[in-house]
Amino acid sequence: MSRLDSVIERLSAQRACLDWAASAIAGLTGDVLELGLGNGRTFDHLRSMLPDRRILVFERQVNAHPDCIPADEDLLLGDFLETLPQAARMVGSSVALIHADTGTGDKAASVAMAAMIAPLLVPLSQAGTILVSDQPLPDPAFAPLGLPEGVRPGRYHIHKRI
């Protein structure tokens, strides 16, 4: 698969999973977490789909398009391992949706980071929280779910908080 085809597949899978997740949390109250702002595309997509929800964004350093940068009070800058516990103190276990786009292009490093992040998401989540991720996030508190039609297994991941 060419790199162009790969990025198109990844972005299509990401959109399909986020669209499904936005519908899945319709009956669940709570905030949205965006782990990894990047260029701001998924943040922009989430705020257009979920305009009545607060979206807390986690990023090491902002390099997003100027129109896709959250308000200062909704942006937690720094290492995920430090900012996720900080968020737990801010919002408790009231999160309805978590999108974790934390891959770096280095597969081993991305998988290792996901394994460190997963247990930090548990205190932020409630029964029914949907977790959408570019990496598998192994934690017994989250059950894997099937993917939307057209999304290749392993390309993206969806879990639900038990």
If we measure between CA atoms, which residue out of 90, 74, 7, 66 comes closest to residue 34?
74
pTM, full prediction: 0.96
Domains contained in the chain, CATH given: 3-161 (3.40.50.150)
pLDDT of residue 105: 82
Pairing of strands 55-59, 31-35: parallel
Identify the DSSP state of 129: E
In 3D, which of 15, 33, 24 has the Cα closest to residue 160?
24
End-to-end CA distance of the chain: 36
Cα 161 → chain centroid: 14
Is 90 exceeded by the pLDDT of residue 63? yes
pLDDT reading at 143 higher than 90:
yes
Residue ranges with strand state E in the chain:
31-35, 55-59, 75-77, 95-100, 125-133, 142-144, 157-161
Residue 104 has pLDDT above 90, yes or no: no
Cα–Cα distance, 16 to 21 (Å, whole number): 9
Whole-number average pLDDT of the chain: 96
